[in-house]
Structure 1
Amino acid sequence: MKKTILLLMLFTLSLMAEVKNEYISQELLKQNIPIVDIRTPGEWKETGLLKGAIPIMFWDAGGNYDARKFLNELHKKVDTTKPFALICHTGSRTSIVAPWLAKEFGYKVINLKGGMEYATKGLHIKTVPYRQ
């Protein structure tokens, strides 16, 4: 009986999990969906952030990460019961983190393909300076 309940819970969680892979657009920005920028502080300082973006580093400059620390910050700053988006430099890091968040926690995550590179050079979206 316990196994059946556990399987049903896991199945339900997998139904709730959702990752959308899409390019950033003006329409998306107008929806005011929280955008979590998972780049490093050095990258935030170099290029700035999208207006309203929430900087929460996942990997540091050496490629190390602390998933627990990331999740703690995410839960403090984002309502994870609602959809939110992830952005990085080109979309490669978010293409790893977004499915993990959806699968493991059932979050509805939008992976912003092309990342900041596409947002700033492709769409010419202005950034705001990063302030600690």
Structure 2
Amino acid sequence: MKKLILFWLIVAGLLHAEVINAPASKTLLAKQIPIVDIRTPGEWKETGLVKGSIPIMFFDEKGGYNVDRFMLQLKAKVDTTKPFALICRTGSRTSMLAPFLAQTYGYTVYNLQGGIMTAYRAGLPIVPYQ
């Protein structure tokens, strides 16, 4: 019986999982959804960050990654029971990571299409990486 209840809890959680593909925009910022910037520190220094975003590197400079490390940092900085957004340089990396997080963990994730490049064109506030 306990296994059946656990199974249904997991299934119910996954039913709420969703990836929302949307460009970085002032409308999205107004919703105050946390934005997690998954780029590398070098990229953050080069272009800055969307104001208020949370830098947590997923892929390193060589394309490697550590899911456990990322998840620890994500859960420490973001309430993953609520929707959050992912941003990278152009949206390529987030288009891979967002579905993984939604399918594996049941999260609702905004994939910010076009990444920081679209954020610049949309006139979003960009701040230097410290």
Q: Which residue number in structure 1 is paired with residue 55 of structure 2?
A: 55
**4+ runs deviating over 3 angstroms:** 1-7
> What is the DSSP-based 3-state SS (H/G/I as helix, E as strand, rest coil) of the residue aligned with 2:92?
coil
Question: Once the two structures are aligned, what percentage of the paired residues are identical?
Answer: 58
> What is the DSSP-based 3-state SS (H/G/I as helix, E as strand, rest coil) of the residue aligned with 2:22?
strand
Q: Which residue number in structure 2 is paired with residue 69 of structure 1?
A: 69
- Cα displacement string for residues 89-130 of structure 1 (whole angstroms, at most 9, x for unaligned residues): 00010011111111111111100011011111x213231010
Q: Distance in 1 between matches of 2:11 and 2:46?
A: 43
Confirm or deny that 1:33 pairs with 2:33.
yes
- CA change 1:2–1:126 in 2 (3 A) is closer
User: Over the residues paired in the alignment, what is the CA RMSD in angstroms?
Assistant: 1.5
Q: Which residue number in structure 1 is paired with residue 18 of structure 2?
A: 18
TM norm structure 2: 0.92
> What is the DSSP-based 3-state SS (H/G/I as helix, E as strand, rest coil) of the residue aligned with 1:93?
helix
Q: Which residue number in structure 1 is paired with residue 106 of structure 2?
A: 106
Q: Distance in 2 between matches of 1:11 and 1:76?
A: 25
* 1:7, distance to aligned residue in structure 2 (A): 4.6
Query: In the comparison of the two structures, how many residue pairs are matched?
Result: 130
- Cα displacement string for residues 6-51 of structure 1 (whole angstroms, at most 9, x for unaligned residues): 5534431221111101111111111111000000000000000000
Q: Which residue number in structure 2 is paired with residue 123 of structure 1?
A: 122
The residue correspondences of 1:75-114 to structure 2 (distance < 5 A) are 75-114=75-114
Could you tell me which runs of 5 or more consecutive residues in structure 1 were left unpaired when the two chains were aligned. none
* 1:4, distance to aligned residue in structure 2 (A): 4.8
Q: Distance in 2 between matches of 1:90 and 1:29?
A: 18
TM norm structure 1: 0.91
Q: Distance in 1 between matches of 2:6 and 2:82?
A: 24
